[in-house]
Amino acid sequence: MSKDMMRAFELYQPDSVDNAVELLDRFGSESWALAGGNDTLDWFKDRAKFASSVVDLSGIEALRGIRETDDGIEIGALTSLTDIETSVLIQERYSVLSDAARRVASPQIRNTGTIGGNVCQDARCWYYRYGVDCYRAGGTTCYADTPEGQNREHCLWGADRCVAVSPSDTAPALVVLDAEMVIQNAEGERVVSAEEFFIGPEVDIERMTVLEPGDLLTAIRIPNDWAGAQFYFEKVADRNSWDFALVNIASAMVLEGGTIARIRMAAGAVECVPRRLNVVEEVVTGSAPDEATAALAGQAAVRGAAPLNYNHFKIPLLENLVKRAIRG
C-alpha cells in the first residue's frame, strides 16, 4: 500500500543527549527518534506510521563508540553494525555479538544501521507493515493467524493475539551476554537487562520493547561475566543477505574439565521476544558437549512449540541449530 511520498514532518537535529531527551519529552507520542533510518523511512514512505516531530540523533557523538569499562564494555546506541562487526575488542571477548552483527542485512545497511536501531525495530509482519488493521495496529484481528493467513516467518511460542516475531539478529546475542540497556528520559536514567528490554504482546501489543514515548536508548553495557567464553551464532534465512531470520541461535558456554559449567542460550524469530532457552541450559549443565547432550538439548529446545499453518519447519530447524550450538 505504498504511497507517492512521505507526509511532511518537522525535523530536529540535537547535538547532545540532553537536547534529544528534552525534544522527545516535549513532543511525547508525536516524536520519533531517528537513528540510521533504515526502518523509519520504510514506515514513513508506506504511510503506515507517522510522527509530526522527528528527532535525528546522528549528530550526537556521545552515542557512538565502543568503550572499555572496569567491568566490561559499553556500546553507544548509535554505533554502527559495521563498527561492531569489525571491532577487535568485541571479536576477542564477545564474538557472538560481532558474528550476529555480521549477519544483519547487507554491508550497505550495516554501514548506516545502528545497534540501537537494530534492537528497537518494529515487527516485520507484512499485514502489519502494509497498514492492515490488525491487533498490533489497533484492530481486532490477527490476519496471519487465520486459516488463510501467511505465517511462515511467524512464532512458535508467545502468541497473544499477535504472532509476529522479534526481527533483531543482535538481540539473542545480547541476551546470552547478559547485556544491560541504558535508557534515559526527562526523569533520569534507568538500566534494564536485555532479557527484560523486549516485551511480548501480553504486556503491550503495540510495542516490542519497554521504551515509551520520551525514552531514549543511549547505550548497551556488556559485563565481563561471559568474556572469552565459547560462543556460537548461526542464522538461517531464505537468502544470505538482505533477509530476516527464519530462526537464529546464540549461545555462550564455559567448559571446565570437559563439561559444561555455565551456559546461556537464546533463539530469535521463534517468539515475539528473543527466546531464552532456560530448559536447554538446565539440561546440559554438568554434561559433556557431545552428541548425546546435543540430542537432549535439541529435544528440550522445542518442547511446547505451537506451530501455525505454514511454519512447522521451524521446529526441526531450531532443534538442529541447538544441537550445533552445543557441539560448537
Residues 27-35, mean pLDDT to the nearest whole number: 97
For residue 155, the model assigns a pLDDT of 98
Q: What percent of the chain is predicted at pLDDT more than 70?
A: 99
The mean pLDDT of 308-315, rounded to a whole number, is: 98
Q: Once rounded to an integer, what is the mean pLDDT over residues 101-121?
A: 97
* pTM for this model (two decimals): 0.96
Which residues, in sequence order, are CB contacts of 188 under 8 Å at separation 6+? none
Reported confidence tier of residue 46, pLDDT bands at 50, 70, 90? confident
| Structural Rg of the chain based on CA atoms | 20
The yes-or-no verdict on residue 2 having pLDDT over 60 is no
Averaged pLDDT, 243-252: 97
Confidence of residue 41 (pLDDT cuts 50, 70, 90): confident
Which CATH number is associated with domain 10-59?
3.30.43.10
Q: What is the sign, positive or negative, of the torsion defined by CA atoms of 43, 117, 141, 242?
A: positive
Q: pLDDT digits over 168-186, tens only?
A: 999 999 999 999 999 999 9
Q: What is the pLDDT of residue 1?
A: 47
pLDDT digit string, tens, across residues 134-148: 999 999 999 999 999
Amino acid (one-letter) located at 62: A
193, pLDDT greater than 80: yes
How sure is the predictor about 241, in pLDDT bands with cuts at 50, 70 and 90? Answer: confident
- The full set of domain ranges for the chain reads 10-59
pLDDT in tens, 56-75: 999 999 999 999 999 999 99
> 248 pairs with which residues across the strands?
235, 268
